Structure 1
Amino acid sequence: MKVSLKWLRDYVDIKLAPKELAERLTMAGLEVKGIQTVGGTWDNVVIGEVIGVSPHPNADRLKLATVNLGTEQVTVVCGAPNIELGQRVPFARVGARLIDGHTGEAILLKPAKIRGVVSKGMVCSEKELGISDSHEGIMVLPQEAPVGTPLDIYLGDAILDLDVTPNRPDCLSIIGIAREIAALTGAFLHSLEIHYEETEKPIDFFVSVDIAEPYLCPRYCASLITGIKVAPSPSWLQQRLNNCGMRPINNVVDVTNYVMLEYGQPLHAFDYHKLKGRQIIVRRAGNGETVTTLDGSKRTLNPDILVIADKEQAVAVAGIMGGSDSEVTDKTKAILLESANFNQATIRRGCSHLQLQSEASIRFDKGLNTELPLLPLKRATQLLLELAGGKAAKGIIDVYPGKRETEPIPLTIREVERLSGLKVNIYEIRKVLKALGFVCQESDSQLQVLVSVPYWRSDIKCSADLVEEVVRIIGYEKIPLTRLGSPLPPQKSKSSPAAQRSDLKDKLRSILTGFGFQEILTYSLVSLEKLQKLSPKLELEIPPLKVANPMTREQEYLRTSLRAGLLSTLAHNQKFEPAGIRLFELGKVFLSQGKDLPQEKELLCAVLSGPRAELSWQADKGSLDFFDAKGVVENLLNQLGLKPSFVNSDDEGLFPGKGADVIVGDDRIGVLGELHPKVAQAYELSGVACLIEIDLDKLLPKITATKKYQPTPRFPSVPRDIALVVDEQVIYRKVEEIIQSFPLVTRVTLFDLYRGEQIPKGKKSFAIRIVYQSPSHTLTDEEVNQTQAEMLARLNKELGTTLRE
Structure 2
Amino acid sequence: MLVPLKWLREMVAFDLSPQELADLLTNSGLEVDGVIERHGGLDKVITAKLLEVNPHPNADRLRLATVDCGGGRTETVVCGAPNLTVGMITPLAQIGAKLGEEGQEVTKVKIRGVESKGMLCSERDLGLSDDHSGLMVLDPGLEPGLPLAQVLNLETQVLEISITPNRGDALSILGVARDVAALVGAELVLPPCEPEEVEPGIEGQAAIEVLDAKACPRYTGRLVKNLKIGPSPLWMRDRLMACGVRPISNVVDVTNYILLELGQPLHAFDFAQVGGSKIVVRMAAQGEKFVTLDGQERTLTDQDLMICDADKAVGLAGVMGGLNSEVTDDTGAVLIESAFFDPLTIRRTSKRLGLSTEASYRFERGIDLEGCARAGSRAALLMQQLAEGQVAAGIIDLYPAPYQAPSIPLSISRTARYLGMELTKEQVKGQLERLGLIVSDGPDDDSIVAQPPAARTDLERPVDLTEEVARMVGYNNIPARLPQAEIGAPARPWPQRVRALARDAMAAQGLDEAISFSFEHPKAADRLSLAADDYRRSTVKLINPLSEEQSELRTSLLPGLLAAAARNLAHRVPDVGLFEIGRVFVAQADQPLPEETFRLGVVLTGLMAPASWWAGEQPASLSHVKGAAQYLAEALGISGLAFDTETESPPYLDPAEWSRLTLNGETLGEMGRLDKRVAANFDLDRPVYVLDVHFDRLAELAPRQKVYARLPRFPELVRDAALVVPEALPAGEMLAQARAFEDPWLQSVEIFDVYRGKPLEKGQKSLGLRFTYRAEDRTLTEEEVTPGYRALVEQVMQSFEATLRG
Normalised to the residue count of structure 1, the TM-score between the two structures is 0.58
1:128-148 C-alpha deviation (Å, 9 max, x unpaired): 334455555444445666542
Identity value in percent: 44
Contact 2:49 2:67 in 1 (8 A): yes
Are residues 291 and 598 of structure 1, via their aligned partners in 2, closer, same or farther at CA, if it must alter by over 3 Å?
A: farther
Contact 1:47 1:147 in 2 (8 A): yes
Q: CA deviation at 1:68?
A: 3.0
The equivalent of 2:35 in structure 1 is 35
Q: CA deviation at 1:373?
A: 1.0
Q: CA deviation at 1:223?
A: 0.2
The equivalent of 1:25 in structure 2 is 25
1 CA distance for matches of 2:106 and 2:451?
Answer: 59
1:455-487 C-alpha deviation (Å, 9 max, x unpaired): 111111122211211121112333342442223
**Corresponding residue SS for 1:73:** strand
**AA at the equivalent of 1:486:** E
Q: CA deviation at 1:433?
A: 1.5
2 CA distance for matches of 1:438 and 1:391?
Answer: 37
Contact 2:407 2:450 in 1 (8 A): yes
The equivalent of 1:312 in structure 2 is 311
Q: CA deviation at 1:454?
A: 1.2
The equivalent of 1:129 in structure 2 is 126
The equivalent of 1:335 in structure 2 is 334
**Corresponding residue SS for 1:371:** helix
1 CA distance for matches of 2:258 and 2:67?
Answer: 36
Contact 1:142 1:235 in 2 (8 A): no
1:586-608 C-alpha deviation (Å, 9 max, x unpaired): xxxxxxxx976799xxxxxxxxx
**Corresponding residue SS for 1:384:** helix
Are residues 477 and 355 of structure 1, via their aligned partners in 2, closer, same or farther at CA, if it must alter by over 3 Å?
A: closer
1 CA distance for matches of 2:93 and 2:308?
Answer: 51
Alignment of 1:52-63 (within 5 A): 52-53=52-53, 56-63=56-63
Q: CA deviation at 1:294?
A: 1.9
Are residues 11 and 369 of structure 1, via their aligned partners in 2, closer, same or farther at CA, if it must alter by over 3 Å?
A: closer
The equivalent of 1:380 in structure 2 is 379
Q: CA deviation at 1:427?
A: 2.0
**Corresponding residue SS for 1:160:** strand
The equivalent of 1:266 in structure 2 is 265
2 CA distance for matches of 1:291 and 1:61?
Answer: 52
1 CA distance for matches of 2:464 and 2:186?
Answer: 24
1:603-641 C-alpha deviation (Å, 9 max, x unpaired): xxxxxxxxxxxxxxxxxxxxxxxxxxxxxxxxxxxxxxx
Q: CA deviation at 1:491?
A: 13
Query: Does structure 1 residue 408 correspond to structure 2 residue 374?
Result: no
Contact 2:70 2:143 in 1 (8 A): no
Are residues 63 and 336 of structure 1, via their aligned partners in 2, closer, same or farther at CA, if it must alter by over 3 Å?
A: farther
Q: CA deviation at 1:149?
A: 2.1
2 CA distance for matches of 1:441 and 1:61?
Answer: 75
Contact 2:195 2:378 in 1 (8 A): no
2 CA distance for matches of 1:461 and 1:598?
Answer: 45
The equivalent of 1:241 in structure 2 is 240
Are residues 62 and 272 of structure 1, via their aligned partners in 2, closer, same or farther at CA, if it must alter by over 3 Å?
A: farther
Contact 1:40 1:152 in 2 (8 A): no
Q: CA deviation at 1:304?
A: 2.1
1 CA distance for matches of 2:452 and 2:295?
Answer: 42
Q: CA deviation at 1:453?
A: 1.0
2 CA distance for matches of 1:490 and 1:118?
Answer: 89
Q: CA deviation at 1:357?
A: 1.4
Are residues 43 and 197 of structure 1, via their aligned partners in 2, closer, same or farther at CA, if it must alter by over 3 Å?
A: closer
Are residues 377 and 446 of structure 1, via their aligned partners in 2, closer, same or farther at CA, if it must alter by over 3 Å?
A: same
Query: Does structure 1 residue 77 correspond to structure 2 residue 78?
Result: yes
1 CA distance for matches of 2:20 and 2:26?
Answer: 10
Alignment of 1:444-483 (within 5 A): 447-480=446-479, 481-483=481-483
Query: Does structure 1 residue 417 correspond to structure 2 residue 419?
Result: no
**AA at the equivalent of 2:7:** W
Determine which structure has more spread, i.e. the larger CA radius of gyration: 2
1:170-194 C-alpha deviation (Å, 9 max, x unpaired): 1111011111111112223223333
Query: Does structure 1 residue 93 correspond to structure 2 residue 94?
Result: yes
1 CA distance for matches of 2:249 and 2:86?
Answer: 25
1 CA distance for matches of 2:421 and 2:68?
Answer: 61
1 CA distance for matches of 2:141 and 2:217?
Answer: 45
**Corresponding residue SS for 1:32:** strand
**AA at the equivalent of 1:267:** L
Are residues 85 and 292 of structure 1, via their aligned partners in 2, closer, same or farther at CA, if it must alter by over 3 Å?
A: farther
Query: Does structure 1 residue 67 correspond to structure 2 residue 67?
Result: yes
Query: Does structure 1 residue 346 correspond to structure 2 residue 345?
Result: yes
Count residues in correspondence: 500
**Corresponding residue SS for 1:364:** helix
Q: CA deviation at 1:439?
A: 2.1
2 CA distance for matches of 1:244 and 1:235?
Answer: 14
Contact 2:409 2:442 in 1 (8 A): no
**AA at the equivalent of 1:440:** V
**Corresponding residue SS for 1:128:** coil
**AA at the equivalent of 1:74:** E
1 CA distance for matches of 2:266 and 2:488?
Answer: 53
Are residues 345 and 88 of structure 1, via their aligned partners in 2, closer, same or farther at CA, if it must alter by over 3 Å?
A: farther
**AA at the equivalent of 2:104:** I
Contact 2:271 2:334 in 1 (8 A): yes
2 CA distance for matches of 1:321 and 1:413?
Answer: 45
The equivalent of 2:720 in structure 1 is none
**Corresponding residue SS for 2:200:** strand
The equivalent of 2:117 in structure 1 is 120
Are residues 301 and 19 of structure 1, via their aligned partners in 2, closer, same or farther at CA, if it must alter by over 3 Å?
A: same
Which consecutive residues of structure 2, in runs of 5 or more, have no partner in the other structure? Answer: 501-542, 549-570, 573-806
Alignment of 1:251-650 (within 5 A): 251-441=250-440, 447-480=446-479, 481-487=481-487
**Corresponding residue SS for 2:369:** coil
Between 154-163 and 446-455, the greater mean CA deviation after superposition: 446-455
Q: CA deviation at 1:97?
A: 1.6
Are residues 301 and 141 of structure 1, via their aligned partners in 2, closer, same or farther at CA, if it must alter by over 3 Å?
A: farther
2 CA distance for matches of 1:142 and 1:312?
Answer: 48
**AA at the equivalent of 2:125:** E
The equivalent of 2:48 in structure 1 is 48
Alignment of 1:214-229 (within 5 A): 214-229=213-228
1:490-525 C-alpha deviation (Å, 9 max, x unpaired): 8999xx9xxxxxxxxxxxxxxxxxxxxxxxxxxxxx
Contact 2:169 2:366 in 1 (8 A): no
1 CA distance for matches of 2:413 and 2:457?
Answer: 25
**Corresponding residue SS for 1:252:** helix
Are residues 92 and 213 of structure 1, via their aligned partners in 2, closer, same or farther at CA, if it must alter by over 3 Å?
A: same
2 CA distance for matches of 1:598 and 1:33?
Answer: 51
**Corresponding residue SS for 1:196:** coil
Are residues 42 and 443 of structure 1, via their aligned partners in 2, closer, same or farther at CA, if it must alter by over 3 Å?
A: same
Alignment of 1:709-748 (within 5 A): none
Alignment of 1:757-772 (within 5 A): none
Are residues 64 and 353 of structure 1, via their aligned partners in 2, closer, same or farther at CA, if it must alter by over 3 Å?
A: farther
The equivalent of 2:677 in structure 1 is none
**AA at the equivalent of 1:96:** A
**AA at the equivalent of 1:151:** L
The equivalent of 1:199 in structure 2 is 198
Q: CA deviation at 1:237?
A: 0.6
The equivalent of 2:724 in structure 1 is none
**AA at the equivalent of 1:148:** G
Q: CA deviation at 1:251?
A: 0.5
Normalised to the residue count of structure 2, the TM-score between the two structures is 0.58
Q: CA deviation at 1:44?
A: 1.8
**Corresponding residue SS for 1:387:** helix
**Corresponding residue SS for 2:203:** helix
**Corresponding residue SS for 1:35:** strand
2 CA distance for matches of 1:49 and 1:435?
Answer: 49
Contact 1:419 1:464 in 2 (8 A): no
Contact 1:132 1:242 in 2 (8 A): no
Contact 1:222 1:396 in 2 (8 A): yes
**AA at the equivalent of 2:326:** E
The equivalent of 2:704 in structure 1 is none
The equivalent of 1:148 in structure 2 is 145
2 CA distance for matches of 1:351 and 1:86?
Answer: 54
